[in-house]
Each structure stands twice: as C-alpha cells, then as structure tokens.
C-alpha cells in the first residue's frame, strides 16, 4: 500500500528490484546462481533513532482485534458484468485473451483528487491499494476505518466487476490472473497437463512461489468488501510467443475463506499497520528482517526516492 503522510505515517521501503544473477558453466555443468548483495533504496540517516529490529516471526505475532466495519464515504467509476463463460473454460477448450484498448492512468495517493478533497475535513492516514486506474471500467470505494482514538484511516479500494447470482442478487468481484512460467525451467507444474485434474497442486505451487501476491490480492478484496475473488490461470498460446495468451481455467473464492486457507490473518495485518507516531519501516535488502526507525521529520529525500522507484 502507498501511504500519504499526515499525522501518522507508515512507509514500507522495499529494496531496489535490480539485481543480477550470474550463471557459470564449466564442463557443461550449470553451477548455482550467484546473487549480488543488494543496497537499500533508502539510507538510514544519522539523526534517525533505530527503535528496534524485527524478524518476520515477531511481525507475525502482532495483533489488533478492535477493528469496526468501515464507513463508505465516496464511490467513483463504473463496472462491467463478469462473463460467466470463463467459468466453463478448461484446458481442452481454452479461451484466447483479446486486447482491448483502454486508457490507464497512474494516480498515486497524493495525486488523487478525491483524497485531496477528503483530507481537508477527515482522516489522518490515506492509502491506495493500487495506483493504476483504468478510466470508466472500475469502481473505486473510498472507505474509512477508525483504529482507536488516534488513527483515522481512509483507503481507496477497488472492485473489478459485478456478478449476478441465481436469485438476481448483484455481487462485487475482484478478478486477478496467475501467469504460467515455463515449468521446464522452474521445477513447476505443466498447467495444460495438470490444471483440470490437479488444480489444488497448481494453486499450492503458486502459493509457494507467489505467496505475497496472493495475500495482497486477498487483502485488497477483503478491504474493498468484494463478495468474490476470481483467479484466472493464464498461459502463453505458444511458449515462444509473448504476444498471445489464453485462459486455461478459473477458480472462485470468498475472500475471507481464502484468507483462512492461505493463513492470512487480517488481525495480524491491522496489528502491523497500527503504530503510533511517525516511523519508517525498512526492509533489510539481504535478510528477512525489518528495521523500525523513529523519524522526527520525514525528509523530502524519502519521497524523491519513492517517486523515482514508482517512475521506474
């Protein structure tokens, strides 16, 4: 999540994504990949007080239980109906993806005109679950959570579509896609051979390799209040053709139930978020560890780095 700092701020600074993997060959044998050490995207200043260093197991123990239902304060955009024909797609009758010309805008939290308007009268922490906006074909819900007496959180959530049930009820849907990687090079599962008969094994492999992405999608669907999370399994039409893709199957979940399946705890997520004061959470670029710094004044250099990372 991208945060717009006012009274309370939590910024997650990730290491720079650029790193190189050098492959060496000797006598026809492929040696292990060598990873170069990575530098942090933000340098810890001398006047920042390092409060604590936390590894991942400690973060997993944090909890905040007293989260009331959110208040919907603004609604913008429009939605299309989900095409249920995709629910009948299998590897034997795959459906080709079609390119549709749409206008996309990158709108960060600070540039969002709705958040700028809301910030004048309410809220002291503002977040956007996604900075990419597609004109006219998504619904944005601005929702407000009160986290105790001191944190007034407003989040721009989003729905991807609507779906009509058997009794005519309308449900909001979040639609995401998993992309197949060539199984010959990653010890994975060939989707065309296993997806129909062993979908659980395919999903388990994706959870192993992309646990953060699936957790983020699930968390976003829960925060938005979507009734369903749709996952599409997408692969290249041919392994050497990067321009054509097909849908090999879909899967539907209720976000809260799927969160339980993947061990995603919203109480833990709220517990990590709710910190009093102004802090900078730094990820060690080479270790599974977080560093918590108390910052007397968030320097403009931080936001310059964040903006450069977004632009790149």
Mean pLDDT (10-residue bins), the chain, 312 residues:
38 34 34 60 70 74 88 92 94 90 78 90 86 66 89 92 91 95 76 93 91 94 96 92 93 97 93 67 68 50 43 48
From CA 51, how far away is CA 262, in angstroms rounded? 31
What pLDDT score was predicted for residue 240? 87
What lies within 8 Å, CB to CB, of 186 at 6+ separation is 209
Query: Helices then strands (H, E): number in the chain?
Result: 8, 20
DSSP 8-class letter at 297: S
Checking DSSP bridges between strand 34-35 and strand 21-22, what pairing results, if any? antiparallel
The answer to whether 130 and 140 have CB atoms below 8 angstroms apart is no
b/e per residue 158-167 (b: at least 16 CB within 10 A): bbbbbbeeee
Residue with tokens 């139930």: 257
What pLDDT score was predicted for residue 46? 75
What lies within 8 Å, CB to CB, of 51 at 6+ separation is 279, 292, 293, 294
Please provide residue 176's backbone torsions phi and psi, each rounded to the nearest 5 degrees: -130, 160
From CA 106, how far away is CA 115, in angstroms rounded? 15
What pLDDT score was predicted for residue 276? 53
| pTM > 0.85 | no
Adjacent-strand bridge partners of 154: 126, 144
What pLDDT score was predicted for residue 87? 94
What pLDDT score was predicted for residue 148? 81
Q: Hey, what long-range contacts does 18-27 have (CB within 8 A, 24 or more apart)? A: none
What pLDDT score was predicted for residue 29? 37
Please provide residue 268's backbone torsions phi and psi, each rounded to the nearest 5 degrees: -70, -40
């Amino acid at each position: 999540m991208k945060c717009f700092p006012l009274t309370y701020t939590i910024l997650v600074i990730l290491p720079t994504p650029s790193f190189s993997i050098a492959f060496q060959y000797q006598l026809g044998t492929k040696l292990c990949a060598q990873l170069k050490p990575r530098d942090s995207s933000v340098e810890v200043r001398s006047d920042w007080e390092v409060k604590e260093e936390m590894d991942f197991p400690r973060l997993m123990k944090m909890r905040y239980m007293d989260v009331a239902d959110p208040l919907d304060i603004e609604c913008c955009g429009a939605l299309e109906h989900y095409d249920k024909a995709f629910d009948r797609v299998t590897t034997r009758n795959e459906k080709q993806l079609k390119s549709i010309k749409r206008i996309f805008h990158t709108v960060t939290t600070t540039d969002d005109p709705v958040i700028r308007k809301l910030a004048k009268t309410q809220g002291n922490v503002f977040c956007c679950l996604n900075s990419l906006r597609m004109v006219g074909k998504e619904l944005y819900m601005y929702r407000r959570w009160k986290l105790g007496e001191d944190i007034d959180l407003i989040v721009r959530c989003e729905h991807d579509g609507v779906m009509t049930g058997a009794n005519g009820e309308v449900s909001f849907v979040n639609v995401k896609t998993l992309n197949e990687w060539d199984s010959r090079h990653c010890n994975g599962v060939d989707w065309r051979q296993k997806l129909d008969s062993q979908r659980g094994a395919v999903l388990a492999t994706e959870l192993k390799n992309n646990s953060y992405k699936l957790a983020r999608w699930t968390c976003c669907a829960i925060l938005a209040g979507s009734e369903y999370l749709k996952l599409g399994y997408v692969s290249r039409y041919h392994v050497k053709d990067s321009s054509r893709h097909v849908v090999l199957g879909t899967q539907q979940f209720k976000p809260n139930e799927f969160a339980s399946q993947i061990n995603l705890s919203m109480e833990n997520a709220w517990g990590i978020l709710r910190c009093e004061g102004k802090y900078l959470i730094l990820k060690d670029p080479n270790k599974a560890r977080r560093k918590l710094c108390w910052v007397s004044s968030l320097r403009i250099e931080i936001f310059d780095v964040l903006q450069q990372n977004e632009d790149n």
